[in-house]
């Protein structure tokens, strides 16, 4: 007889209990460490920086997770954390979790701090391949150096070099031009010396003298009319040669005079070049006290863009998590034809995003003070959820500031996304505040307001207004010598100023316009401090330039005097030829001869 089966089928229950126990044991033993390692590994890859978690505690009964000691390193400064969270706790909907949805009704994050020092440097994380950044982006991302507060860091590299150091490193236009003029005059002198030597040199004069002596000797041996005719022709030819050379010399003297005057003009122009060299070097090495706008613009636009670029990179990383891929369009049901029946659908549950935080309590450390805030409706699909994400912080009077407000709205519920960030700090107390590598605020106060808007995740507009008061600043740049004393005196004269930054463009390509009364304040202060120093520096530089150019300028004048000497040489050669022309006459070359020769000469009437 077969035994009737019992109500409980032990052969099936026992394996179920064993498997369930194994799964529960695994979760109890390894779930926390699995979550911890997943956060560290996946977070590091997603953010491109090392993510550390101190501990994870999971309670499936309470549907809660507590994460302690979250640290996200700064990929550009491995000994620093971008953000640190002391304690992160939330409750989740277990039923939704089985549908691969993380729905959090309440979240708490305490001990949030920014830019903290790590106990040990982080490991660099290899970033996934991406398109190469443009040179503008690379330059904008370089925040390792830049001008500091109030434009004063922009002056830290400016030193009063000695005139000797300047002239050792700079080329003087005067010396370059002197060299060119001297080469030109030298070539002109060589050309004229060659022309004079070839046709009007001492050898040419001696040759004419020899011809005259030859005619004189032949005249003593005249034996007939033929000899007289030959002598007469030679004398006429010799006189024509001499007269031609005299005319040539006169033309050459006129030509040489023009070239000499041109060279003299070049030398006169050289005398003005030391002044031009002085003006050029003054503009480069002396202080330009006109218009501090460029100084303040360079000073604040640079550091501000460094911070905005960092915020842009974090914004780009966060965008994918704030919206899901486009949901498939569900067609509206068609109206059935008459008589073909009607399809009745039961009420479906309201769709929910895959990720949702309904409410969160946040606590951050700002200027060393704890500030509490609220997070509402953080989701990955606001169109389904129907609400934008909102973050609000509000803190009252404390030792560091009188009031702090922050309102952040990330809205993806409409066709065009709109993100808005508003902050306000009243009565911020500055003490020992490092503003850059060269300036430190010992004591002071400031009110800061800012508003930023991003439309369609692209168009960016923003405004930051800073009002300072009772500022006591110190110049900390070491090894700056005389400049340190000058800059400290300048800082002592500045007690209050305002800065206004206007940001416009796109998230990836924007411009920062700076408005400030600090320009005029620094301009007045620096002018009063620097005037005497600038005059002294420029006087020494002028003396050094004149000393270095004095010798070459004198040599240039001497080179031109050589051309004047050549003209004197032509005058001498002309005089010699005129004397020789006087010798080449009948009276001089054909004197009265005794006997038949003398009687024969009387028969000729010579024109000379």
What is the rounded CA–CA span in Å between residue 521 and residue 537? 24
From 516, 468, 471, 519, select the one nearest 492 (Cα to Cα).
Answer: 471
**Ranked by mean pLDDT, which of 299-308, 349-358, 421-430, 538-547 comes out on top?**
421-430
pLDDT for res 424 = 95
For the chain, the average pLDDT equals 75
pLDDT digits (tens, 9 = 90+) for 247-298: 888 888 888 788 888 878 877 887 888 888 788 777 776 654 444 434 455 4
pLDDT digits (tens, 9 = 90+) for 518-530: 767 766 666 666 6
How far, CA to CA in Å, does 354 sit from each of 96, 379, 382? 9, 8, 11
From 46, 35, 41, 105, select the one nearest 320 (Cα to Cα).
Answer: 46
Contact (CB, 8 A) for 299 and 567: no
User: Is pLDDT of 471 > 70?
Assistant: yes
Mean of the pLDDT values across residues 199-220? 78
Beta bridge partners of 20: none
User: Is pLDDT of 606 > 70?
Assistant: no
User: Is pLDDT of 105 > 50?
Assistant: yes
Mean of the pLDDT values across residues 203-208? 79
Higher pLDDT, 284 or 515: 515
Least confident of 27-41, 283-297, 302-316, 453-467: 283-297
How far, CA to CA in Å, does 5 sit from each of 16, 17, 475, 496? 19, 20, 94, 94
What is the rounded CA–CA span in Å between residue 292 and residue 296? 6
pLDDT for res 590 = 61
| DSSP assignment letter at 221 | T
Contact (CB, 8 A) for 498 and 467: yes
| Token output for 208 | 């004419």
User: Is pLDDT of 178 > 50?
Assistant: yes
Mean of the pLDDT values across residues 108-112? 91
Mean of the pLDDT values across residues 393-422? 90
pLDDT for res 185 = 80
User: Is pLDDT of 311 > 80?
Assistant: no
Pairing of strands 439-455, 433-434: antiparallel
User: Is pLDDT of 140 > 50?
Assistant: no
What is the rounded CA–CA span in Å between residue 212 and residue 511? 92
pLDDT for res 474 = 84
- Domain locations along the chain: 49-122, 163-290+546-604, 356-456+458-506
CB atoms within 10 A of CB 349: 5
Mean of the pLDDT values across residues 464-471? 91
Which DSSP string corresponds to 460-514?
A: EEEEEEEEEEEEEEEE--TT-THHHHHHHHHHHT----EEEEEEEEESSSEEEEE
Mean of the pLDDT values across residues 507-516? 83
User: Is pLDDT of 146 > 50?
Assistant: no
Beta bridge partners of 513: 502
Higher pLDDT, 362 or 178: 362
């Amino acid at each position: 007889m077969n035994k009737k089966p019992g109500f409980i089928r032990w052969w099936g229950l026992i394996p179920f209990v064993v498997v369930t126990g194994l799964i529960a044991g695994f979760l109890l033993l390894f779930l926390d460490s699995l979550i911890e390692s997943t956060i560290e590994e996946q977070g590091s890859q997603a953010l491109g920086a090392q993510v550390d978690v101190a501990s994870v505690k999971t309670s499936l009964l309470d549907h809660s997770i507590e994460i302690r000691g979250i640290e996200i390193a700064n990929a550009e400064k491995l000994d620093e954390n971008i953000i640190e969270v002391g304690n992160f706790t939330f409750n989740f909907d277990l039923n939704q979790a089985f549908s691969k949805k993380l729905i959090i009704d309440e979240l708490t994050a305490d001990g949030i701090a920014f830019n903290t020092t790590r106990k040990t440097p982080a490991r660099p994380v290899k970033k996934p391949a991406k398109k190469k950044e443009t040179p503008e982006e690379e330059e904008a991302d370089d925040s390792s150096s830049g001008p500091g507060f109030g434009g004063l860091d922009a002056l830290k590299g400016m030193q009063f070099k000695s005139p000797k150091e300047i002239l050792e490193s700079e080329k003087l236009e005067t010396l370059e031009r002197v060299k060119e003029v001297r080469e030109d005059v030298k070539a002109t002198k060589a050309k004229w010396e060659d022309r004079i030597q070839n046709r009007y040199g001492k050898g040419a004069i001696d040759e004419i003298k020899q011809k005259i002596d030859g005619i004189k000797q032949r005249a003593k041996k005249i034996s007939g009319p033929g000899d007289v005719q030959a002598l007469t022709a030679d004398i006429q030819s010799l006189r024509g040669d001499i007269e031609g050379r005299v005319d040539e010399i006169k033309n050459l003297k006129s030509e040489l005079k023009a070239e000499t005057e041109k060279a003299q003009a070049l030398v006169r122009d050289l005398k003005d070049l030391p002044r031009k060299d002085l003006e050029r070097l003054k503009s480069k090495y002396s202080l330009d006290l006109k218009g501090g706008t460029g100084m303040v613009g360079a000073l604040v636009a640079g550091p501000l863009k460094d911070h905005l670029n960092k915020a842009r990179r974090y914004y780009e990383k966060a965008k994918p998590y704030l919206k899901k891929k486009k949901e498939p369009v569900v067609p509206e049901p068609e109206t059935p034809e008459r008589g073909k029946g009607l399809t009745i659908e039961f009420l479906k549950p309201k769709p929910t995003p895959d990720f949702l935080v309904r409410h969160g309590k946040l606590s951050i450390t700002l200027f060393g003070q704890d500030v509490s805030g609220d997070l509402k409706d953080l989701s990955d699909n606001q169109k389904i959820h129907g609400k934008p994400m909102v973050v609000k912080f509000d803190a009252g009077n404390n030792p560091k500031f009188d009031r702090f407000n922050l309102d952040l709205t990330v809205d993806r519920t409409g066709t065009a996304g709109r993100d808005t960030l508003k902050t306000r700090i009243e009565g911020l107390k500055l003490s020992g505040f490092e503003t850059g590598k060269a300036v430190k605020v010992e004591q002071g106060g400031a009110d800061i307001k800012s508003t930023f808007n991003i439309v369609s995740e692209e168009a960016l507009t923003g405004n930051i207004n800073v009002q300072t008061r009772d500022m006591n600043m110190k110049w900390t740049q070491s090894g700056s010598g005389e400049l340190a004393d000058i800059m400290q005196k300048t800082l002592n004269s500045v007690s209050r100023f305002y800065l206004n930054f206007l940001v416009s463009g796109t998230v990836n390509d924007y411009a920062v316009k700076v408005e400030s009364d600090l320009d005029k304040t620094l301009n007045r202060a620096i002018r009063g401090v620097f005037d005497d120093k600038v005059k002294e520096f420029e006087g020494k530089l002028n003396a050094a330039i004149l000393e270095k150019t004095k010798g070459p300028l004198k040599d240039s004048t001497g080179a031109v005097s050589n051309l004047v000497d050549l003209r004197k040489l032509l005058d001498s050669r002309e005089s010699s030829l005129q004397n020789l022309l006087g010798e080449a006459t009948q009276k001089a070359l054909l004197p009265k001869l005794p006997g038949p020769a003398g009687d024969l000469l009387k028969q000729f009437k010579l024109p000379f």
